[in-house]
Amino acid sequence: MDRAIGRDGAAARPPPAPAGPPATPGEPALRRWADADAFALFRGLESSRRGLCEDTAALRLHVHGDNATDAVRRTGAAARARRALAGPFSGLMTVLGVLLAVAGSPGSATLVLVVAALGVGLCLWHAVRSDRLSRELRAHAATTVTVRRRPAPGTTPRGSEVPPEDLVPGDVVLLGAGDPVPADARLLRARDLLVDQSSLSGELLPVAKAPPSSRAPSSRGPRPAPRRRPSRAGSDDGPVTAHPALLFAGSTVVRGTATAVVLATGAHTHTEELAGRGRRPRPESEVDRGLRSVRRALVRCMLLAAPLVLLVNVEVSGDVRQALLFAVVVTVGLAPELLPLIVGTTLLRGTTRLRESGVLVTRPEAIHDLGSIDVACLDKTGTLTEDRVVFTHSVDVDGRPDPAPADAAAVAVRFQTTPRDGLDDAMAAADRDGSALLAHGLLTRVEELPFDHARRRSAVVLRDAHDPGELVIVRGDPDTVLPRCTRVARAGGPVELTASLRVAAADAVAGHRATGLRVVAVATRRTPLLRPLGAGDDDDPERDLLLLGFVGMVDPVRESAARAVERFAEQGVAVKVLTGDDTAVAEQVCARAGIAVTGVLDGAALDALGEVALARAVERTTLFTRLGPLQKERVVAALQARGHTVGFLGDGLNDVGALRIADVGIGVDGAVPAARAAADIVLTDRSPDVVVSAVEEGRRTLGRATRYLTVTAALNVGNTLSVLVASAVLPFLPLLPAQLLLQGVLFGVAALSLSFDRVEPGWTARPRRWDTRGMLWFMAVLGPLASAFDLVTFWAVWRFLGLDTPQEQAVFQAVWFSEGMLSQVLVLLLLRTRAGRASRPVVATVCAVVLAGLAVPYTPLAPLFGMAAPPAVWPLLAAVVLPFLACVAAIRPLYLRHVLGIDAADLRRER
């Protein structure tokens, strides 16, 4: 009789287990239910083998909520707006606009607010675009699940198709081949059950599942199941996903049937607890920290300089309005007004180029982080390998090539009625001469003993139309097939399988396994007509077998893997392999992919290390095997603690946490939704070669942003110093806020072309960091140098043009505006990359900006910006700007070395 549960739902879950080794939340309860007997299981869940009543299920659904297995929430418009407005320059430019309006300069205020709105609008557009892309990647088809329920207490249970969202703890579900597992469940019954849980555990092949103390079923009648030795998989030391009695949401039934009781749904499933690690706040990356430090430095300068200038000018002139305008001019001179717009444009250009290469960017800022990656953590299965099993060769017991084992295995697969798995498909492909197809016309199936987890082999009994008796073909794990063989096929015919031949066969199997191959033993038996089912074990078809040999299979390494590893080495990126697979198999894959394994660390050894010891170990270790989700996170965190910028590529739920904490999380289009949601970029092609191309594009994008911010900040420092010095000798403002903004906008338009510019080969040759110290150092050099030539311009205007009275300030400001605009744009052209090799879009944009800037004082727009047409000043501009550019060219090697980090070797590569 079903009992109602309390509102807190406590009765539907066991009490928490005592604290033990580090475990994902919910693991203690799963482990406890996994080994519980059926009476305790149903009592704890307040359910029965006949299923829940509909009323009880409805109440539990109200208590526990929908069984939503992909709880990635859409970012709201308000949250996106807050994020876009949270930037330091957005708020600062808004305040400046208000102050300009108060000070009686509505034109300047409008221009400032328009620039601020453009930056915020671009941030919002990026956020909306990324959110739309994420929703497209999370789209999945709806399904139903068969559940056993009763209309009312005491009635007969019936199977009903319900949406997975309606499942509750205590429901009894019925699963068959091809069904996705909708929730965490404990097996009650299973027959020939294989489950693909690679998205959780990283295992390539499906794993066998069975309830506790199950018996191996057979189509030939009852047969005692062999005694199973205690497995580490079911202990508290192994991963919970390895427990044979547990099914997990997100896995898929590959073969067989199962009846199971639901333990946890929705956010309480193991799958969602792993996925929830991808919804944690993302750690701040190195590029984020560097950009934030530069922004804060400029904001501090503004906040210090503006009040100081305001106080000094009020004290000297007594004109509060004039002093306020002057303070705003100093602030505007320091602010890189178009920083959000320029950085956003370079990111947009990088996003477009990556999309053309098969990379979808869900977090645009991650493109900058790509340029800083110096360690790439790759999964073995599906990244270095093709995530499929293929036939390699067939050998006899002596290790000599022999097609007989492969032909026999292909015939067995041809007559197999249970759904095929990857191994079956690989053995079917071994039939290159069509013998299996030919045999189909000569043979008929009599019996089939499907593969199960206890026997670890399968058998098919066939009847030959032209040969009396029956043919039995057995294939499976050599450890279970060899003990049932009494003879072996050799060149001269069948011979007795002696002890020495058994040792030779075992050695051959071990040798193949050591090379990373998966080995299947194939044996046959010719018998008279077998007895009917249940007639006893005298006619056991799997005894007295003739060993034909072994079939070798492998998960092939991608053709592009070795080249990708070479390109990573050329880029200065260390490759580390993180996998849940066996060490021997992983070592062979690394060898075929050209990865030099300098150290191996498995999950058990990793758990024994403290954080300090692990941080030292990850430096000298290339291959990490048998890793669980938390262990992958520890490896990534340890690498970051050693100062590395880490890119992590993963596609399963066991990768979600590592994807989230990595500097760049790299997912694939076929990954589980939670992994795609946690990733910063998503590959449409799983080849590691695509990752290499993405890293190169990230370095180019980072280089363009670095150049803009460095040059802009340095020139703005120069403008501020010039304004401060000019205020001590001039009776008027040397430049109005609107003029400074127009100068900054023209410079920004020229800088927008950087997204189409080339970058030196030396820049992409190795990982690039956001070097705040080098940028500040160059600002301290270029800023005063630019200010010195501004002062030379002041002196020349006063000395030769006599523009030193308030009545002549519009002409004075026009001259200085022209000199500042011309020198800034040409400096950007000189420092953007190797001199003389700018791309056509850059040259065209710079020429257009220079012509427009020089023409402004002579157009009807001049009065709007407070300027008047000056006399012929071209000789003066040439006399000031050309020497300034010569000085910048002289310090350019220092800029390349200390800011961009391009050393002599890189410069030679550039030439």
Two tokens at 778? 């160059």
Longest dimension (CA), the chain: 121
Query: What is the SS3 assignment for 523?
Result: strand
Within 168-261, residue ranges assigned H as helices are: 198-201
d(CA 769, CA 572): 13
Picking from 609, 662, 611, the residue whose alpha carbon sits closest to that of residue 633 is: 662
Selection from 596, 593, 521 nearest residue 556 by Cα: 593
CA 661 to CA 640: how far, in whole Å?
9
Residues 30, 240: contact at Cβ < 8 Å?
yes
Question: Which is catalytic among the residues 379, 407, 581, 790?
Answer: 379
Contact 501, 397 (CB under 8 A): yes
CB atoms within 10 A of CB 671: 27
Round to whole Å and give the CA distance between 353 and 362.
14
C-alpha triplet 16, 18, 20: angle, nearest 5°: 120
Phi-psi region at 849: left, alpha or beta (left = phi > 0; alpha = psi -120 to 50)? alpha
Indicate the SS3 state at residue 494.
strand
Q: 379 an active-site residue? A: yes
Per the structure block, which two tokens stand in for 561?
């893997």
Under 8 Å CB-to-CB from 187, ≥6 apart: which residues?
A: 193, 209, 210, 211, 245, 246, 247, 258, 259, 260
Radius of gyration of the chain (CA): 36
Q: Are 149 and 157 in contact (CB under 8 A)?
A: yes
One-letter amino acid at 299 equals V
Q: CA-CA distance, 326 to 113, in Å (whole number)?
A: 18
Element (H, E) at 347: helix 339-356
Q: Which residues of 889-911 are buried (b: 16+ CB within 10 A; e: fewer)?
A: eeeeeebbebbbbbeeebeeebe
β-pairing, 664-668 vs 623-625, is unpaired
- Interstrand relation of 646-649 and 457-464 (parallel, antiparallel or unpaired): unpaired
Pairing mode of beta strands 493-496, 485-490: antiparallel
3-class SS letters over 360-373 = EECCCCHHHHHCCC
CB atoms within 10 A of CB 73: 7
User: If DSSP codes are grouped into helix, strand and coil, which group holds residue 578?
Assistant: strand
**Cβ pair 542, 527 in contact under 8 A:** no
Query: Which residue carries 């009312």 as its tokens?
Result: 152
**In whole angstroms, what is the distance from residue 112 CA to residue 682 CA?**
37
Other CB atoms within a 10 A radius of the CB of residue 303 amount to 13
Main-chain phi, psi angles of 315, to 5 degrees: -65, -40
Amino acid letter, residue 80: R
Residues forming the active site:
379
